[in-house]
Amino acid sequence: MSVYDKYETVVGLEVHVQLGTKSKAFCGDDASFGAPPNTHISTISLGHPGTLPRLNKKQIEYAVKLGLALGSKISPTNNFDRKNYFYADLPKGYQITQDRMPICIGGGMDVETEEGKRHIRMHHIHMEEDAGKSIHDIAPDATFIDLNRAGVPLLEVVTEPDFRSAQEVDVFMNAMRQLVRYLGVSDGNMQEGSLRCDCNVSVRLKGAEQFGERCEIKNMNSMRFARRAIEFERKRQIDLLESGGKVAQQTLNFDPVTGVTSPLRDKEDAHDYRYFPEPDLPPVVISDEYLAAIKAEMPALPWELQAKFIKEYQLSAYNAKLLTEEKGTALFFQELTKHTKNYKAAANLMINKINPWLSEEKQSIDEFPISHQQLGALVQLIDDGKVSNTIAYQRIFPELLKTKKMPLEIAEAMNLVQSSDGDFLEQLVMDVLEKNPDKVKAYKNGKKGLIGFFMGAVMKASKGKAEPKSTNALLAKKLSE
């Protein structure tokens, strides 16, 4: 047993979700990503004296939606606070946030890990605004500032220290990404920083009750890096403890190039921020009517659809998971079940044909050209034995992309309909047997594997139109005569 196995890793996350609102949290500036630097700014986001913040209703709505999805309690009265600190990318000199009363309290989410289902509890979710961006890698001796992001609305989701491995963190972040996309509150794009997290990591001896001292790794916006950072940090802390040292509470930066964490600054005490109530924003009161209205428009959640797909459509857990990864795919499949009762075949069509086609063509399911009616009819055609799976996927599918015609019409026009017509099949089978007397003899002498050869020959002679089940039965019958 290695010394690392004596310890348990404990992780708690502070997840930042950048909301997909049109405008910023407290002014009308465009909140979208990717514009030329310092073009989405105004006197308010620049913090000019005399300007006043104004609330963005969408931020409240999105916070409530996420809270309801996670089963949090929604606070009826919400106040904003100022968190003061000095930094070049924070023009006001403070960040508007919620310190005293966050909008969502408690809640949790189940995640499926390698070791089975785990419940991760939420501590709270609060609303805040983002800072601008300092860019250190353009010039060696200068820092560039882009304030487009200053004032963009964020939700900070704080979990309890319920994670026990980097893998659990990874699975959870993927589930968060999926959830915010389902809810339509954020694009969850980690590369663009729409979803990022601070990872608080500590270790303790297995079986110990008390948590160890923790370090906070800042701003992870790639799960691959987050996994490496947590792994590195876990080992660093264990090495330190094993050599008689102590872990000091610190804020760390992870360098993906060296794979090492290093201290950013000693963790400030909360009062260093001199929090105080934001005087320019009135309290936000969330009425029962408002809450009921939001509840009424909540979309189906990923885990709900997954459970439904397993229960109502008898899909395997694996297929249900694949089909619910993206909301568009899940809703498309749900619609498709209205056009065929062979849910399994419909799921296979989506997983093995439609999804690969979409990713190859870089298209979204929302613009998929084949209608549910056509796809339902295609599944039916396979079910009825009129065409094989291969013919349906390889020959008819490409035609459906180009036309609104129904699959049967296409199959007939292309002469692809399989025949289980007795006379037609009998003729083919007899021809094949007559042409291969040696093989017939060998079969009759016990080489039963030759049935495959005969099947292949009949199929070939029929140009793929012989229906396999009837062909097989007929061959077996003729060969035993």
How would you classify the pairing of strands 250-255 and 215-220?
Answer: parallel
Which listed residue (33, 211, 225, 357) binds ligand ADP by CB under 6 A? 211
Residues of this chain, 156-175, that bind ligand ADP according to CB under 6 A: 158-161
Binding flag, residue 125, ligand ADP (CB under 6 A): no
Binding flag, residue 95, ligand ADP (CB under 6 A): no
Q: Tell me how far, at minimum, the Cβ of 36 lies from ligand ADP, in Å.
A: 35
Residue nearest to ligand ADP (CB): 12
Q: Tell me how far, at minimum, the Cβ of 249 lies from ligand ADP, in Å.
A: 9
Ordered DSSP codes for 127-178 = EEE---EEEEEEETTEEEEE-TTTT-EEEEEEE-S-B-SHHHHHHHHHHHHH
User: Up-side HSE of residue 409: CA atoms within 13 Å toward CB?
Assistant: 7
CB distance 131 to 89 below 8 Å: yes
Q: Tell me how far, at minimum, the Cβ of 338 lies from ligand ADP, in Å.
A: 43
Residues of this chain, 351-390, that bind ligand ADP according to CB under 6 A: none
Q: Tell me how far, at minimum, the Cβ of 378 lies from ligand ADP, in Å.
A: 49
Q: Which is nearer to ligand ADP, 120 or 410 (CB)?
A: 120
Binding flag, residue 231, ligand ADP (CB under 6 A): no
What are the b/e assignments for 264-281, b being 16+ CB within 10 Å? eeebeeeeebebeebeeb
Q: Give the E-state strand segments of 221-362 in sequence order.
A: 250-255, 260-266, 276-277, 284-285
Which listed residue (6, 8, 14, 222) binds ligand ADP by CB under 6 A? 14
In angstroms, the CA 439 to CA 90 distance is 84
User: Up-side HSE of residue 62: CA atoms within 13 Å toward CB?
Assistant: 27
In angstroms, the CA 381 to CA 339 distance is 12
Q: Six-digit token pair at 279?
A: 């005087």
Binding flag, residue 304, ligand ADP (CB under 6 A): no
Q: Tell me how far, at minimum, the Cβ of 211 lies from ligand ADP, in Å.
A: 3
Q: Which is nearer to ligand ADP, 12 or 188 (CB)?
A: 12
Total residues in contact with ligand ADP, by rule CB under 6 A: 15
Q: How many CB atoms lie within 10 A of CB 46?
A: 17
Q: Which is nearer to ligand ADP, 125 or 322 (CB)?
A: 125
Binding flag, residue 98, ligand ADP (CB under 6 A): no
Q: Give the E-state strand segments of 46-141 in sequence order.
A: 73-74, 77-78, 81-84, 94-97, 104-105, 108-113, 116-129, 133-139
One character per residue 182-201, x = contact with ligand ADP (rule: CB under 6 A): ------------------xx
Q: Which is nearer to ligand ADP, 10 or 31 (CB)?
A: 10
Binding flag, residue 126, ligand ADP (CB under 6 A): no
CA-wise closest residue to 156 among 249, 79, 219 = 219
Binding flag, residue 12, ligand ADP (CB under 6 A): yes
In angstroms, the CA 301 to CA 219 distance is 27
Nearby residues of 426 by Cβ (< 8 Å), 6 or more positions away: 474
Q: Tell me how far, at minimum, the Cβ of 210 lies from ligand ADP, in Å.
A: 9
Q: Six-digit token pair at 8?
A: 């348990």
Q: Which is nearer to ligand ADP, 163 or 309 (CB)?
A: 163
One character per residue 23-62, x = contact with ligand ADP (rule: CB under 6 A): ----------------------------------------
Q: Give the E-state strand segments of 221-327 in sequence order.
A: 250-255, 260-266, 276-277, 284-285
Which listed residue (65, 214, 234, 327) binds ligand ADP by CB under 6 A? 214
In angstroms, the CA 260 to CA 252 distance is 10
Binding flag, residue 106, ligand ADP (CB under 6 A): no
In the block, residue with structure tokens 């966050």: 102
Binding flag, residue 327, ligand ADP (CB under 6 A): no
Q: Which is nearer to ligand ADP, 29 or 129 (CB)?
A: 129
Q: Tell me how far, at minimum, the Cβ of 157 lies from ligand ADP, in Å.
A: 9
Q: Tell me how far, at minimum, the Cβ of 137 lies from ligand ADP, in Å.
A: 28
Q: How many CB atoms lie within 10 A of CB 286?
A: 17
Given the rule CB under 6 A, which residues bind ligand ADP? 10-14, 158-161, 200-202, 211-212, 214
